[in-house]
Structure 1
Amino acid sequence: MDYPLIEGVLVTPQKRILNSKGDILHAMKRSGPGYTGFGEAYFSIVRTGLIKGWKRHRHATLNVVVPVGAIRFVIYDDRQESLTSGRFLDVTLGGANHVRLTVSPGLWMAFQGMNEGINLLLNISNEEHDPTEADNIDLDAIPFIW
């Protein structure tokens, strides 16, 4: 699948190994694109139709996969020096679209649960969580129609 990319964002297809007893879904390898080190990994559940965001990390690189359900991610680039300043990337991860979304520091991200039931994301960050490292703003602060 091709996506109109934003500078500092990678969409990397991940291997899915089909197994009659339950599939195996790859998430990240140290040798893969987007790997910048390991700080922590965590899961987040997103309820159907609800939106989390906008959030911008100043130092952390995020690597997000959706092993259960489907989650719509919107990335916004407001960096003045960026070649893609003012652009959005809108991509849904999960199900048949088993990819990893790598988001560099300085980009705004929000996401929405799309499936009924559980929508689960795994974030593999290069830094441990630090509540002073990120900026949060209201959804209406960035002009995007959900």
Structure 2
Amino acid sequence: MPDGTTDVIGASDPGIKGVRITPLIRIPDERGQVMRMLRADDRYFERFGEIYFSMVYPGKIKAWHIHSVMTLNYALVTGRINLVLFDDREGSSTRGRIQELVLDESNYCLVTIPKGIWNGFKGLGLTPSIVANCATDPHDPNEIRRIDPFATDIPYDWALNK
């Protein structure tokens, strides 16, 4: 997986090694729009495991979790979120780094999060937000680890940020 990021509104700099941010295509017409997320022939497509949608209410936090096998491919469908990533991988050149991304409908993109990166998000704004995840593997409760969003293991304070 290539390293680096592209510009996203609200993206903290520098990024975490292996996290990829890919601008996505919207095809609008007078009836609405098609929001493309991921195709099997995209150069960055790995494999298909499952797709699900996660709704988060304004001010609520869904964090922290980490996968030992699965790669995540997040795209914000509607709303506004603060997506926060933390690299705690042994041997990573970006270990200890936090990466924040404020995602909304003005910066439609795919955020690819490799295994081994802690992640979570907080709903911003006044309406619920919906995040789509096209994961590389079906959900397996044995390959995910979760900790409380306010645990001190991760140097991030949700109350002070965004």
Q: TM-score, normalised by structure 1?
A: 0.94
1:96-135 map, 5 Å:
96-135=106-145
Q: For residue 145 of structure 1, what is the aligned residue in structure 2?
A: 157
2:77 maps to 1:70: no
C-alpha displacement of 1:122:
0.5
Q: For residue 96 of structure 2, what is the aligned residue in structure 1?
A: 86
2:53 maps to 1:39: no
2:32 maps to 1:26: no
Measure the CA separation in 1 of the matches of 2:15 and 2:34: 27
Equivalent residue pairs, number: 146
C-alpha displacement of 1:113:
0.8
Measure the CA separation in 2 of the matches of 1:33 and 1:12: 11
Structure 1, unmatched stretches of 5+, are: none
Measure the CA separation in 2 of the matches of 1:84 and 1:143: 14
Query: Secondary structure of 1:27's match?
Result: coil
Q: For residue 27 of structure 2, what is the aligned residue in structure 1?
A: 17
Measure the CA separation in 2 of the matches of 1:64 and 1:34: 13
Structure 2, unmatched stretches of 5+, are: 1-6
Q: Does the aligned pair in 1 maintain the 2:150–2:157 contact within 8 Å?
A: no
Q: Deviations over 1:59-105 (max 9, x none)?
A: 00000001111121100001120011111110022210100000000
Identity %: 36
| Cα 1:50–1:72 shift into 2, 3 Å | same
Measure the CA separation in 1 of the matches of 2:15 and 2:27: 27
| Cα 1:84–1:15 shift into 2, 3 Å | same
Q: Deviations over 1:16-36 (max 9, x none)?
A: 112121011111122324421
| Cα 1:33–1:85 shift into 2, 3 Å | farther
Measure the CA separation in 1 of the matches of 2:28 and 2:15: 29
Measure the CA separation in 1 of the matches of 2:125 and 2:43: 28
